[in-house]
Amino acid sequence: MIRLYDTLSRKVVELRLRTPGEVSIYVCGPTVYDVPHLGHARTALTYDVLCRYLRWRGLAVRVVSNITDVDDNIIARAAEAGSTEEQVAARFTEIYVNEMTALGVAEPDERPHATGYISEMIEFVQELLDRGVAYVIDGAGVYFDVDRYPDYGRLPHRRPDELRDSAGARVAVDERKRDPLDFALWKAAKPGEPDWESPWMSGRPGWHIECVAMSLGLLGDGFDLHGGGSDLIFPHHENERAEAEAAGHRFAGLWMHSAMVNVGGEKMAKSAGNFRTLADVLALHDPRSLRLAMLQAHYRSTMEIDESVLAGAAAGIGRLDAFARRVGAIGAVDAPARTEDTDAARGAFAEAMDNDMGTPGAVGVVFELLRKGNVALDRGETGAAAAALDTVCELGGALGLRLGAAAVHAEATLEASPAGTPSEAPAPCPSSGAGAADEGIQQRVDERQAARSARDYATADRIRAGLADDGVELEDTPTGTIWRRVR
Partner RNA sequence: GCAUCGGUGCCCGAGCGGACGAAGGGAGCGGCCUGCAAAGCCGUCUAUCGCGGGUUCGAAUCCCGCCCGAUGCUCCA
- On the CB side of 380, how many CA atoms lie within 13 Å of its CA? 2
Out of 109, 193, 381, 475, the residue judged to bind RNA by CB under 7 A? 475
Supply angle C-alpha 422, 423, 428, rounded to 5.
Answer: 110
**Among 104-112, 335-343, 375-383, 411-419, which window interacts with RNA (CB under 7 A)?**
375-383
309 binding RNA? (CB under 7 A): yes
Judged by CB under 7 A, how many residues of this single chain contact RNA? 93
328 binding RNA? (CB under 7 A): no
Supply angle C-alpha 15, 16, 17, rounded to 5.
Answer: 115
Out of 313, 333, 345, 389, the residue judged to bind RNA by CB under 7 A? 313
**Among 38-46, 52-60, 185-193, 335-343, which window interacts with RNA (CB under 7 A)?**
38-46
**Among 137-145, 396-404, 417-425, 472-480, which window interacts with RNA (CB under 7 A)?**
472-480
409 binding RNA? (CB under 7 A): no
Q: Is residue 181 exposed (0-12), middle (13-18) or buried (19+ Cβ within 10 Å)? A: buried
Tell me whether residue 218 or residue 388 sits nearer to RNA (CB atom): 388
65-84 residues near RNA, rule: CB under 7 A: 68, 71-73
Q: Write the DSSP assignment of 389-445 as a string of letters.
A: HHHHHHHHHHTTPPS--S-BEEHHHHTPPPTT-TTSPPTTS--B---GGGHHHHHHH
Per-position x/- string for 118-147, each x denoting binding to RNA as judged by CB under 7 A, each - no binding: ------------------------------
210-239 residues near RNA, rule: CB under 7 A: 228-236
Tell me whether residue 116 or residue 361 sits nearer to RNA (CB atom): 361
CA distance 383 to 334: 6
DSSP state of 117: G
Per-position x/- string for 164-203, each x denoting binding to RNA as judged by CB under 7 A, each - no binding: -xxxxxxx--------------------------------
Q: Find, among 215, 271, 267, 207, the residue nearest to 235 by Cα.
A: 207
Secondary structure of 337-375 in HEC code, one letter for each residue = CCCHHHHHHHHHHHHHHHECCCHHHHHHHHHHHHHHHHH
363 binding RNA? (CB under 7 A): yes
* 9-12 long-range Cβ contacts below 8 angstroms, 24+ apart: 10/157, 12/355, 12/356
Supply angle C-alpha 58, 62, 67, rounded to 5.
Answer: 145
231-290 residues near RNA, rule: CB under 7 A: 231-236, 258, 260-262, 265-269, 272
Out of 4, 42, 50, 223, the residue judged to bind RNA by CB under 7 A? 42
334 binding RNA? (CB under 7 A): no
Tell me whether residue 22 or residue 351 sits nearer to RNA (CB atom): 351
